[in-house]
Amino acid sequence: MAHARKLDQGKASFFRRENVPAKGYTYKDYLSWGEDVHCELIDGIPYMLAAPSEWHQWVAGGIHSQLRVWLDGKPCRAYMAPFDVRLFYEEDNSDKLVVQPDVLVVCDSKKLSDGRACRGAPDFVVEVVSDGSTKKDFVTKKAKYEKAGVREYWVIDDEEVYKHVLVDGKYNVTAYAMDKDLKVGVDILPGCDISFREIVERQLRPEPEGE
């Protein structure tokens, strides 16, 4: 996820709940805040994105790099946050949901045609759980991704990988215990297996001793 930044007083006012319009903010409003505001917009309400931990970046970066290598020469493309996803895109920018998945894969190049966001559902999304994001990743975003038609959604914490695959409009979930020998196949990318060896080995390394 993107690093949070200190906002000037004017921009900070957008995030005070008492200042949010009754109908919520739209993507048009979101664009007006400028590139120095890093947040997600969920049902018209903005949520600041905290700076990710080192472990979070290691996991997301490792998965993204494996996807990039596997997708080389193929039509689908892999991206990392910060990259806006407008799940319920509206031509007039009236949509009220903008998320920034940790990792995503988009196979329809038309959804990337404006050069600044994915307009519509990605094919594959990965969220790495951070402090305070558990409910958002497992409940709020899961529901939004399911409704939007994201075909596969993974949630990763430090113990398990939760793989959600869309079947008849609903997610079927399988949990995998984190282990250095774990490889999880991406159903929407037949033949693509994500290895968790480096991720687990990183967890098992002793912390450096203090001075």
pLDDT tens readout for residues 8-37: 555 666 666 667 788 899 999 999 988 777
- Range of lowest pLDDT (19-23, 37-41, 54-58, 129-133): 19-23
Stated pTM of the model: 0.88
At 103 the three-state DSSP class reads strand
pLDDT of residue 7 exceeding 50, the answer is no
pLDDT tens readout for residues 92-128: 999 999 999 999 999 999 999 999 999 999 999 999 9
Q: How confident is the model at residue 52 (pLDDT cuts 50, 70, 90)?
A: confident
Which pLDDT does position 2 carry in this prediction? Answer: 37
Which pLDDT does position 210 carry in this prediction? Answer: 53
Which residues touch 76 (CB under 8 Å, ≥6 apart)?
105, 106, 107, 123, 189
Domain spanning 54-92+100-204 has what CATH number? 3.90.1570.10
Which pLDDT does position 94 carry in this prediction? Answer: 97
Q: Is pLDDT larger for residue 207 or for residue 112?
A: 112
At 36 the three-state DSSP class reads coil
DSSP 98: B
pLDDT of residue 138 exceeding 90, the answer is yes
Helices (H), the chain: 9-12, 27-32, 54-71, 134-135, 141-148, 197-204
- Domain parsing of the chain, residue ranges: 54-92+100-204
Do 125 and 150 contact (CB within 8 A), yes or no?
A: yes
